[in-house]
Every structure is written in C-alpha cells, then in structure tokens.
Amino acid sequence: MPRVVILGAGVMGSAMAMPLNSVGQQVDLVGTHLDEMIIRSIQGNGHHSKLNIKLPETVNAYQFSNLRELSLNTADMVILGVSSAGVDWAIDRLAENLTRPVPIVMITKGLRVHDGEIKIFPSIVSEVLQKRLGFSVPVLGIGGPCIAGELAVLRDTMTIIAGGDTKLIEKAIKLLSASYYHARPSLDIIGVEVCAAFKNFFAIGVGWAQGHFENSSNTENLAKMYNLAAGLFTQSLNELKALTVAIGGRAETVNGLAGVGDLYVTCLAGRNSRMGRLLGLGLTYEEAKAGHMEKDTIEGAELAKAIGPQLELMWSDGRLSRNEMPLSNAIVKAICYNETLRMPWSKFMH
C-alpha cells in the first residue's frame, strides 16, 4: 500500500487526506508545532476543529515530535501543507529527516524575493534541500480552485499538479485519483505557482467593488455593481499574465484552472476579498487590519509587503511596465504605504 505523509494539519493539509484515503493510500497526518490542539482532537474523536468534520479513522494523526520515528524515507510522497510563514521550519524538518529523494508536493502558496529575483516556493525548497542534503529532491506544486472545506466533504474539485518531471506528476495524480478529485498535469510550475500566490493579491482589488458599492447611494432600481467587479476581475487577469511571464511562467497558464479558476473562487469569499471590501469602504489598510481583521492573516497583503519593493524595482528597470499594471501599483501603494485604494480607471485595459 502506498504511503503518503502530510506535514501540516491545517485546513488544506488535512483536506488533502480525504482523496488519498478514498483511494486506499496510507495517510500519516503530522501537525506542526502550531497544530498541537488539532492533532489532539483528531487523536481523541477524529474531529478536526477548523474543518468541522470527522476525519476517517484510517487517517493516522501525529504530533510533529513523532516525525522522526515515522521515517519520511519510506514514504512514497510527502505533501507539504504548512503556512507560507512555516516554509523555513518545514525545510529544517525535511533536512533533518530525509536521506533519499522522496518527492514533495507543495500546497503551500507564496513567493519570495531571493537574490534579486521573485522565486516560487518549490524552487526555494528544492534549492535549499539540495545544498543541505547533497542530493536533489523533486518538488511539485498544486494549484487551481480548491476550497479546503469543499474538498473535505468530498465535493468535486479540479486542480493542477505541476512540476518538471512528467512521470512524477503522473505518480502524484495517481496517488490522488479519487473520483471527486480531478487533477490535471502541467509542466509550467512557475506559472501555476505565480497564479496561486497572486490570486490572493488581486482578490483584494476585486473585493474593493463590494465596499465601493456599499459606500454608494442606492439607485431607484437597487442596481448592484457586478459590472465593476467583472471589470476589475478582467484587469487582474491582464496584469497576472504580465507578472507570470516576467517571473518565468507561461501566459496561457493564466487562462486555465491555475489562473482564471483560482482567482474566481478566491474572489467569491475569504479574507482577501473581505480586506478588499474594507478598502472599498474607504478605510486604509492599517485601519482595516487593526479595526476589523486584527487576528487574520491576509495572504494577498502579506504578498504585497514581501514583494512590493521588488515589483517597484522591476517597474523602474523595465522588466515590467507600470503602465500595464495600474491595479497592481494601486494595491501595492494601499498595502505598503497605507494609501487609500483608488482605482485608476483611465489606465485600465492598457
């Protein structure tokens, strides 16, 4: 029986246990140092407090202190489900425990500026592990529209599994081949990862429309502002293509599940859209964060802070055109410099 270890017992890491379990894989779910209460609950009665479901009894739950005795080296695959802030912690754990190149599939999303370039997490994890271990560890990524709560209750879900090795991608798809988990292959791992990270960033911009609507006077026919939201959505895709190509991915990836699909589902609900709504109401980012979302992690805002300076550098040196990315420029100003988010309508659809 194939065995898969999931490192990270948050909502998405734990949800990934479901398709693996459905097709008969042995699943070892290992919590991070932040997941102790979640693992205790699963070990007690199977209940996952954040997903609000009972995991199957065949999913084995462990505290991270048990990681060494689980022997990652005998696993067929490791799924990395830590938060973006926990990537370095996860790299340390992998470096401590791996003695052979077990394939890693990352559901963690984010980008990082490294050596003056914007890099995807799979590349960073692969490069650091090779330096520390002395051998190459293959790292794949998963993108596309996948809400953890839906996957956890076996709702049909379509995703993209991306990497540089077709056989490894096919292996990962086979391990996850539940009847409701429809994974598709892609060799454009950079494009998939850029889309996965920036969908949160642009969801802030699209979410702005709801706040702007609420701040506007009612009309006689009680018209909504779906036209506005659709326009911002389209502008986001235009700019996402420019970003994807500049970082090394393919423009066509944005047209598929990784781009359009993931941005669509992210704009429907979630923390990034909620932040966008607050900015649309006229609040600054700091006012919105402190007054309404103090304890929430806003992934799109964290991304803006992490790579905003690098985007500005790329606009300055010509690697990106600021004129072609007015929405991105406005979001960076709102998040990084606490300016009121105003939409530069005349510059859209360049």
What's the rounded Cα separation, in Å, for the pair 295 and 180? 33
Assess contact for 141 and 196: CB atoms under 8 A. yes
Token pair, residue 91, equals 């790299």
Residue 118, strand partner residues? 113
Backbone angles phi, psi at 26, to 5 degrees: -75, 125
Torsion of CA 147, 152, 155, 160, to 10 degrees: 50
What's the rounded Cα separation, in Å, for the pair 83 and 264? 22
Categorise residue 328: left if φ over 0, alpha if ψ from -120 to 50, beta otherwise.
alpha
What's the burial of 221, exposed, middle or buried (CB within 10 Å: 0-12/13-18/19+)? exposed
Token pair, residue 45, equals 């009665």
Length of the chain measured in residues: 350
Q: What percentage of the chain's residues is helix, strand, coil (to nearest 5)? A: 55, 15, 30
Active site residues: 199
What three-state secondary structure class fits 73?
A: helix
Assess contact for 160 and 109: CB atoms under 8 A. no
